[in-house]
Amino acid sequence: MKLWDKGFSTDKKIDHFTVGNDRELDLLLAKYDVIASKAHAKMLGKIGLITAQEAENLVKELSAIAKTIEEGSFVIEDSFEDMHSKIEFVLTEKLGDTGKKIHTARSRNDQVLVAMHLYLKDELQEIKSEVKVLFNLLLNLANKYKNVLLPGYTHLQIAMPSSFGLWFSAYAESLIDDLYFVDAAYKIADQNPLGSAAGYGSSFPIDRDFTTKEMGFATQKYNVVAAQMGRGKVEKAAAFGISNVAATLSKMAMDICLYMSQNFNFISFPDELTTGSSIMPHKKNPDVFELIRGKCNKLQAIPNQLILITNNLPSGYHRDLQLVKEVIIPAIQDIKACLEILTFSLKEVRVNEAILEDPKYDYLFSVDTLNELVLSGIPFRDAYKKMGKEINEGTFAPKKDIKHTHQGSLGNLCLQEIRDKLID
């Protein structure tokens, strides 16, 4: 069944190519198409395009469909083009002509739009919640290990003292920046596009304020052409939010892979969180973190993919826009999986508390030792030259009882201030 069926069939190859994997993806969106259809049915009844009884019957049957979706028994067979055609078929099968009235005053275009907006609202909220869980874990780890020093690097060369408190809380605060992008995407998704129909509105006297409130949107996308132009744009906004979270996770996963290696030996994990080698019995490989790194690097390409699909399209609907679903939906599932597994794994992290006992890290303290000379009255440039000479001659004696007191330093992590910054 096709919503645009005029009594003739399309070549099977054309049909297969144009439908693509919509049926599979629509199983995730069907719940939201039902939510929108219930609001639409109630609105049609409110303005008198269908009777109150017809509206009630439609809502009742849509609720029954929603239950099958929740239970996992809802199926979109190959004979249906998408979720919309399957849902309308079921309604017509159950209610006869009443079921055929559900499509009055809407198009498949605004059906897809509103389902995607509702889906993205839910998923972005879930991503935000999972980021907050990771954020809280990182701050707890920062507090737990705030006094354990860690080598800081620039150019992958030993640089200055850091700490696990700094390292963990750095990623926590970075996640706050990422949530700004997620929240921006949510605000874009929180606009009701239903009623824009094929992108030019409808001659029916529909009540868009009613459906906006019924579906829980903060506002509506008022201009019907602007609503249609939002297709692809709302997904791109979500992709930017996802890619920012992914960038933070990828960088942390890279740190973990380095820190787990024998050359660093800063942290470790229980055997059950690592993998082995088929021929090297000593190996404890960080496969989980390598996959987080790889998946999150892929996710950072998602905004560019969506830009390339949509960038040169004029206003109005084009079939190219169908392709954005198969980009954004898997991306959402991937970022959620990466957040979940990173949080799960970090709960078991083991910190090496004696890293700086190795004399190769003595040079970490060169800057602090130099600063002591400056505090004693020696000009900075003279102190710098004196310290450089001692290092070259092998007479450098590090001052290890360091004191960093300014806000955000290893002696003043500002963990509560970072926690207070987190968006509600």
Instruction: Please report whether residue 340 resides in a domain.
Output: yes
Specify the CATH number for the domain of residue 183: 1.20.200.10
418 vs 283, residue with greater confidence = 418
Would you give the DSSP letter of residue 268?
E
- Band (pLDDT 50/70/90 cuts) for residue 6 is very low
How many degrees, rounded to 5, is the angle at CA 346 between CA 341 and CA 347? 105
Q: What is the DSSP string of 183-229?
A: HHHHHHHSEE-TT-TTTT--SS---HHHHHHHTT-SEE--SHHHHHH
pTM of the model as a whole: 0.90
pLDDT bracket for residue 18 (50, 70, 90)? very low
Are 292 and 416 part of one and the same domain?
Answer: no
Of 176-185, 216-225, 273-282, 353-362, least confident by mean pLDDT is 273-282
Chain-centre distance for alpha carbon 11: 39
Look up residue 134 and give its amino acid: L
Query: Does residue 269 contact residue 345 with C-beta atoms inside 8 Å?
Result: yes
206-245 b/e with 16+ CB inside 10 Å = b? bbbebbbebbebeebbeebeebbbbbbebbbbbbbbbbbb
pLDDT reported for residue 79: 84
Residues 192 and 43 in one domain: no
Q: Map residue 285 onto helix, strand or coil.
A: strand
How do residues 298-350 score in pLDDT, each as one tens digit?
A: 999 999 999 999 998 899 888 888 899 999 999 999 999 999 999 999 999 99
38 exposed, middle or buried (CB, 10 Å; 0-12, 13-18, 19+)? buried
Q: Which of 52-56, 154-158, 394-398 has the lowest mean pLDDT?
A: 394-398
pLDDT at 270 over 90: no
Q: What's the rounded mean pLDDT across residues 284-290?
A: 86
Contacts 24+ apart (CB under 8 A), 295-298: 295/246, 295/334, 295/337, 295/338, 296/246, 296/247, 296/249, 296/250, 296/253, 296/335, 296/338, 297/246, 297/250, 298/334
pLDDT confidence of residue 143: 97
Residue 420 has pLDDT above 80, yes or no: yes
Same domain, 143 and 263: yes
Please say if the pLDDT value at position 281 is more than 60. no
Which pLDDT does position 373 carry in this prediction?
87
Q: How many domains does the chain have?
A: 3
Contacts of 402 (CB under 8 A, 6+ apart): 161, 365, 368, 411
Q: Is 163 exposed, middle or buried (0-12, 13-18, 19+ CB in 10 A)?
A: buried
Q: Which of 239, 241, 217 has its CA nearest to residue 118?
A: 217
The answer to whether position 213 is within a domain reads no
Residues 225 and 346 grouped into a single domain: yes
Q: Are 151 and 184 in contact (CB under 8 A)?
A: no
pLDDT over 60 at 278, yes or no? no
- Given this model, what pLDDT does residue 114 score? 97
Question: Which structural domain range is residue 257 located in?
Answer: 115-148+164-196+221-355
**Do 416 and 307 share a structural domain?**
no
- Strands 350-351 and 267-268 come out as antiparallel
Residues 130 and 232 in one domain: yes
C-alpha distances in Å from residue 320, one per residue of 14, 25, 313, 326, 328? 15, 16, 9, 11, 14
Residue 416 in any domain: the answer is yes
With a cut of 50, say whether residue 4 has pLDDT above it. Answer: no
Q: Are residues 121 and 192 in the same domain?
A: yes
Confidence of residue 280 (pLDDT cuts 50, 70, 90): low
Distance CA 362, CA 111 (A): 64
Q: What mean pLDDT is reported for the chain?
A: 91
Written as six digits, the tokens of 381 are 């440039």
Residue 157 lies in a domain: no
Mean pLDDT, rounded, for 225-233: 94
State residue 68's pLDDT score.
96
Q: What is the mean pLDDT of residues 75-97?
A: 92
Which of the four pLDDT bands, split at 50, 70 and 90, describes residue 282? Answer: low
Each residue's pLDDT tens digit, 148-160: 999 999 999 998 9
- Higher-confidence residue of 372 and 117: namely 117
Look at residue 232 and tell me whether its pLDDT is greater than 80. Answer: yes
Quote the DSSP letter at residue 162: E
DSSP state letter for 346: H
Per-residue pLDDT band for 286 (boundaries 50, 70, 90) equals: confident
Residues 131 and 255 in one domain: yes
Most confident of 78-82, 357-361, 368-372: 357-361
Residue 211, domain member (yes or no): no
Same domain, 334 and 297: yes
> Which CATH number does the domain housing residue 88 bear?
1.10.275.10
* Phi and psi at residue 397, to the nearest 5°: -115, 105
Q: What percent of the chain has pLDDT over 90?
A: 74
Cα–Cα distance for residue pair 123/110, rounded to 1 Å:
20
